[in-house]
Amino acid sequence: MKAPQRLQPLIDEGLVDAVVRQLMSGKEAMVYVVRCGDETRCAKVYKEADKRGFRQAVDYTENRRVKNSREARAMAKGTRFGRKVTEAIWQSAEVDALYRLAAAGVRVPAPHDFFEGVLLMDLVTDADGDAAPRLSDVDFSPQEALRHHAGLLREVVRMLCAGIVHGDLSEFNVLLAEDGPVVIDLPQAVDAAGNNHAQRMLLRDVGNLRDFFGRFAPALLRTRYGEEIWHLYERGMLRPETELTGRFEPDTRPVDLREVLREVNDARMEEATARRLRVRTPRQ
């Protein structure tokens, strides 16, 4: 097919040899099958902000850093330059997450290059070598649903151990490759420790998987994997090899307000002492 305008710079640079066909048009990007030497890959062409169905909600962009204060001011004012910076950060978030997760052993498409707003990565294929379908397009037996659900929970745990929450995980953002599910679409990924909404997003991601696979294996609908995973993560007890049970009992014991106030007062006293020492210490 004729190369779309956005892919022509990659052809000029020798990163892409030919565009085979359009694979899909999503809420945030157009995806094409391309030839790169002897390899068949996919090229994800990000849509401009005003043409995207997925908005950059502040929940997702919280704590994403910029290079300097000029960029931060421009983003806050919403200037043309600021919008350009915001868009670049949004796109690079997926690139950064893919490299980070691939290094952690998470089943994501291996990234190869990012140039002029286009992400080159592996094409995920099925047993016949064709583009793999989304989970939403496949029916499962109860046994298959349980197996794939367990596999994806392991990926969620690996992601969280790598410090990342997908943020928009569902049956529409997972491809069923020949050797199992592969997680895709990560521009909305958030830092688990640095985003105040990470817990809610993790619970929603796991809940989406539960609800989808629960259509085929209803026993999953009674599980509480999301709460269990986050509980272990908060306490520093989560590992990629952690065996999950799907059970979670919240701590309903009453809060000891006296103990809380005691800890607050102790912290204040320690800070006051440290402040006095700083004041007394002569500058060198």
Q: Which residues are catalytic?
A: 168, 185
Enumerate long-range contacts of 196-199, CB under 8 Å, 24 or more apart: 196/62, 197/59, 197/60, 197/62, 198/165, 199/230
Of 6, 58, 62, 54, the C-alpha closest to 34 is 6
Q: How far apart are CA 78 and CA 48, in angstroms?
A: 15
Q: For residue 4, what are its two tokens? A: 């779309």
Strands annotated E in the chain: 18-25, 29-36, 39-46, 111-115, 118-122, 164-165, 174-177, 180-183, 190-191
Of 161, 148, 144, the C-alpha closest to 229 is 161
Residue at 70: amino acid letter:
R
Contact indicator for 244, 224 with CB cutoff of 8 Å: no
Q: How far apart are CA 131 and CA 123, in angstroms?
A: 7
Contact indicator for 122, 110 with CB cutoff of 8 Å: yes
